[in-house]
């Protein structure tokens, strides 16, 4: 499964499920949005197994995205969840910080787990490179590619004009001869980066797991502080589409890190819990919630406004999403965004000049829906 195929599905309600497996990570990257480290909670594994085991060929997400923290600290769980998902027809993707790649190796336990997944993405940036050398990461990714796994890179820089992004994207293209797609983001002031990343580094956020105007999934992509510009206008949010399993097993409707971490979850963004609910219930709530329909089709001015919806504003969202045509409008919007292609979505949610790199290696659609070779970036 190519990276572009995953990103194309990102705006489609319940087409994917994001699942954090642990907040633990052997690395201590300075920009980590989840503030992951050697200690941290694990998502309830038994409940998560039961939840994914409830997928059926007739009712399942297309994609199960496993992240953290570092999901490959739990390779047996990765393999088990991927096997259960595959039995129902769901394909699994994994995002890793490459802690295991020291010396350019892939440990047997990691390789065995990844043979069950359809896509693997490696995070790489100046922060990761301080802990795992780039050459080691490249060698490990070559091993995975040679084993038949579709691979990609998730790259992060300080801003759109960061020289590191121009250099690392060129290096990946040369090393892998344009076979490997890339998704490019910028650092946001959240998690450990909150202490040093300024608002001036911020543009729209995106990620393999997707992102919002001031938020991100728990995949190491930081976010801005959610303060809208004075002239900000409401805009539809494509990221209120995939349910997210948080570290405590709560299922939320948004990949914003503050929603993932903060309790209680705003009621309009809570979809259930993996220990109490099954996929059909979570999928139905995601697709049919009037508030989520309104967010996907009308939106708010910022993620902070979305999290704080209450009173008259919440009632207005309920009315908007309850109109007779609301479901059809929501479905049409998702279909049009999917048909527009991964690069178009990432021009909004990722680093716009580098968005075409998601199409490297094939498997994606350009702006008019036609499959074609990637364009050169302007960066």
For the chain, what are the domain ranges? 3-359
The pLDDT value given to residue 164: 97
The pLDDT value given to residue 267: 97
The pLDDT value given to residue 190: 67
For the whole model, what pTM was predicted?
A: 0.89
Non-local (6+) Cβ contacts of 77 within 8 A are 21, 45, 48, 49, 71
The pLDDT value given to residue 191: 66
Residue carrying structure tokens 């001031």: 214
The pLDDT value given to residue 31: 79
Written as one string, the DSSP assignment of 58-97 is: TB--SEEEEESS-GGGSHHHHHHHHHHHHHHT-EEEEEE-
Residues 319, 301: Cα–Cα separation, whole Å: 18
The pLDDT value given to residue 362: 79
b/e 118-142 (16+ beta carbons within 10 angstroms → b): bbbbbbbbbbbbeebebebbbbbbb
The pLDDT value given to residue 250: 98
The pLDDT value given to residue 302: 92
- 3-state SS assignment for residue 56: strand
Domain 3-359: assigned CATH number: 3.20.20
- 3-state SS assignment for residue 27: coil
Residues 121, 125: Cα–Cα separation, whole Å: 13
* pLDDT averages per 10-residue partition of the chain, 379 residues: 97 98 89 81 97 98 97 98 98 97 97 97 94 97 97 95 97 98 86 60 36 35 39 83 98 94 96 98 98 96 94 97 97 97 95 97 61 40
């Amino acid at each position: 499964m190519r990276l572009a195929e995953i990103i194309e599905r990102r705006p489609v309600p319940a087409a994917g499920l994001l699942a954090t497996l642990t907040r633990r990570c052997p690395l201590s990257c300075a920009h980590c949005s989840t503030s992951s480290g050697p200690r941290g909670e694990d998502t309830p594994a038994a409940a998560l197994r039961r939840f994914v085991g409830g997928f059926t060929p007739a009712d399942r997400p297309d994609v199960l995205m496993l992240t953290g923290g570092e999901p490959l600290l739990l390779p047996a769980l990765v393999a088990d969840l991927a096997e259960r998902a595959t039995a129902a027809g769901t394909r699994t993707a994994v995002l890793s910080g490459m802690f295991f790649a020291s010396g350019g190796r892939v440990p047997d336990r990691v390789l065995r787990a990844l043979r069950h997944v359809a896509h693997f993405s490696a995070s790489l940036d100046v922060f990761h490179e301080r802990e795992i050398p780039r050459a080691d990461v490249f060698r490990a990714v070559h091993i995975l590619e040679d084993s038949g796994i579709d691979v990609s890179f998730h790259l992060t820089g300080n801003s759109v004009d960061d020289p590191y992004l121009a250099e690392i994207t060129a290096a990946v293209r040369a090393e892998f001869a344009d076979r490997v797609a890339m998704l490019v983001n910028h650092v946001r002031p959240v998690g450990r980066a909150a202490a040093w990343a300024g608002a001036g580094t911020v543009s729209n956020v995106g990620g393999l797991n997707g992102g919002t105007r001031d938020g991100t999934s728990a995949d190491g992509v930081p976010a801005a502080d959610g303060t809208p510009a004075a002239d900000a206008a409401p805009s539809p949010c494509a990221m209120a589409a995939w349910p997210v399993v948080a570290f405590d097993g709560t299922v939320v409707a948004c990949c914003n890190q503050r929603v993932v971490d903060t309790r209680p979850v705003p009621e309009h963004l809570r979809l259930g819990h993996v220990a109490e609910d099954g996929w059909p219930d979570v999928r139905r709530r995601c697709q049919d919630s009037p508030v989520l329909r309104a967010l996907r089709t009308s939106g708010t001015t910022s993620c902070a406004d979305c999290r704080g919806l209450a009173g008259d504003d919440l009632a207005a969202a309920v009315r908007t999403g309850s109109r007779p045509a609301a479901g059809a409008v929501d479905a049409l919007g998702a279909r049009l965004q999917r048909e527009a292609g991964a690069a178009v979505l990432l021009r909004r949610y990722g680093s716009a000049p580098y968005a075409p790199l998601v199409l490297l290696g094939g498997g994606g659609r350009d702006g008019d829906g036609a499959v074609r070779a990637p364009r050169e970036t302007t960066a």
